[in-house]
Structure 1
Amino acid sequence: MAVISQPGSSVKFTNISQIRMKKGDKRFEIVCYRNKVQDWRNGIEKDIDEVVQVPQVFINVGKGELAGAQDLQKYFGTTDVEKAVLEILNKGELQVGGKERQQQQEQLHQAVLQIIATKVINPKNGRPYPASLLEKVLDRIDFRFSATKPAKVQALEAIKLLLEAQLIPIVRARMRIRVTDDANSLNAYSEDLKEKMSVVESENTEGSSIEISGLINPSDFRDIDQLVHEKSNGEGLVEVLSVTEEAQE
């Protein structure tokens, strides 16, 4: 379908985000429903009509100027509007307003603090610190939150600095877990499992099953879960009982 330019028109869009893509010396834009772009890029949303508000490629959304067929052919190698829209949707830069950007940054900021609060404790009483106190300490050690790094990455970086600074008594929390499996199966890998535990607290046999409980460092949970899954052919169970114990360095 041919796309005509409308330099004199003005189009009003509501509840939308723009996606921009620079191709050579030209900038192209599409308009999408707010909060749908990431769903599309993450494979959650499959219907493009639920994502793109207007199935057109614009030179300037604010002025309602559409890209012409010559521009599409020159910069996208096709006059197929849908193909050009898809390329911009998948690869373009999502634009957000100042208020929305500030809100996103604040949400990320709080997510980092909440992750930290679940991974460290006060060794004197075994209790977690409130996020508000952790935020104050991070400010004192000049930790800078990032608007681009994932929350988990920032949280781990912040924890490392908190442990080094020790402005407040702080240690990594440990997980208390319980592994349950058939006795014959678990006996075959129990030594490997115990080696990954900081402390083996109990080992109980009930009928044909065995339960082994103990403390682990949170960073070892994935390896333990994978070990149990592989050795038990998916039949073993790993349960997190608590995250309140002091970590031993």
Structure 2
Amino acid sequence: MTNIVVVRLQKAGFRFEIACYPNKVEEWRRKVETDLDEVLQRRVVFVNVSKGQVAKSEDIQSAFRTEDQEKVCKIILESGQIQVSEKERKVDNDKLFKDIASLIVEKCVNKDTQQSFPLGVIENAMREIHVSIIPHQSAKQQALKIIHQLQEKSSLPIERAKMKLQVFVPSAEARESLSQKLPQTAHITEANAVEGGAFSCAVVIEPKDYRAVDTLAKECGGRIEVSQHSLKDGDDRI
């Protein structure tokens, strides 16, 4: 059974299962894989895959209003739950936990030193505040939420690493307007004249201010480019 992934669907009081190849269910759902034979081990609807018990035709008809095995397999494939053993679930959760911690290391710094935290420090802090990992949510989505939890509940002096933008504005007047209207946490570290009287400004911001600065740059007739997503000590002067 190690090379089989079972997808189960409870419907109309009956349990239905299909036998699939590992990793192929998610590919089918993301439309990466479109060949049903590359996903299903057999185009058969089971009651219990591990015991080889095939579903009765009358039960399939009662639940799905059809006896078409291929059609029913597709319904189960789209809507059923992937069955994962406790051992597999733990491996997946451990990997997701580490992926989240790695993203936090990448996105954050010690606000006292502006240095990155070691991975182990972040992992321990996550355990101390009893972070709950959501199996089917991306590491990126969860990392952003957990950063806030660490700021609120842990003793770590943690903050998001600043971003460095290159803001292009058409004139000295636009540069001055940009400087005056930037959020309090943002500042221009360098401004250089370019062709036609325009200016290129290096701006350091908090990630949360990105949209506000983007809007401001457009109001000044300019545009922005991201130079560095995570500006840390030693990367640049801030």
Q: Given the two structures, how large is their TM-score scaled by the length of structure 1?
A: 0.76
Letter in 2 for 1:41: R
Pairing 1:1-249 to 2, within 5 Å after superposition: 15-140=3-128, 142-148=129-135, 149-165=137-153, 167-180=155-168, 183=170, 191=178, 195=182, 198-208=186-196, 210-221=199-210, 238-241=225-228, 243-245=230-232
Where 1:99 maps in the other structure, the secondary structure is: helix
- d(CA) in 2 for partners of 1:206, 1:26: 71
How many residue pairs get aligned? The number is 227
Cα distance in 1 between the residues matched to 2:36 and 2:216:
41
Q: Deviations over 1:65-124 (max 9, x none)?
A: 222322221111111111101100000000112221111101110111112112221233
Task: Check the 8 A contact 1:128/1:244 in 2, yes or no.
Answer: no
**Root-mean-square deviation (Å):** 3.2
Q: Distance in 1 between matches of 2:231 and 2:67?
A: 61
Q: Deviations over 1:165-206 (max 9, x none)?
A: 46233332211122357x48xx59x74996367112223232
After TM superposition, give the deviation of residue 18 of structure 1 in Å. Answer: 0.3
TM-score (norm 2): 0.79
Equivalent pair of 1:177/1:215 in contact (CA under 8 Å): yes
- Give the conservation status (yes or no) of the 8 Å contact 1:194–1:200: no
Contact 2:125/2:154 (CA < 8 Å) preserved in 1?
no
Query: What are structure 2's unaligned runs of at least 5 residues?
Result: 234-238
Counterparts of 1:112 and 1:27, CA distance in 2? 35
Cα distance in structure 2, aligned partners of 1:230 and 1:164:
35
C-alpha contact (below 8 Å) 2:108/2:159 kept by paired residues: yes
